[in-house]
Amino acid sequence: MKITICIGSSCHLKGSRQIVEEMQYLIAEHKLQDQVELGGTFCMGNCKNGVCVKLDEQEFSLSPATTKDFFEREVLTRVK
């Protein structure tokens, strides 16, 4: 599974660094390094919402506060 996080200016200002850090922490905590690949990109063309995150080809809009919830709901359920 690949999670791509937008690190372009707009998302950066909305907290993409915090989301990157949180994701790295959660992946390590659940020992999913072999199953989940993290990557960055500059802009997904959807700057009006929250931080753009892609789970394989599906797009989501996150904030640092909703990251843990997203991880448990979308990521953990798919890797099991």
- Of 12, 30, 55, 66, the one binding another protein (CB under 8 A) is 12
| Residue of the chain from 1, 35, 39, 65 that contacts another protein (CB under 8 A) | 39
- What the block records as the tokens of 8 is 């372009």
Residue 38, CA distances (Å) to 19, 22, 24, 48, 69 in order:
11, 12, 8, 23, 17
Task: Taking the CA atoms of 22, 26, 28 and 33 in sequence, report the sign of the dihedral they define.
Answer: negative
Mark residues 45-64: x for contact with another protein by CB under 8 A, - for none: x-------------------
Task: List contacts with another protein (CB under 8 A).
Answer: 5, 7-10, 12-13, 16-17, 20-21, 24, 33, 37-43, 45
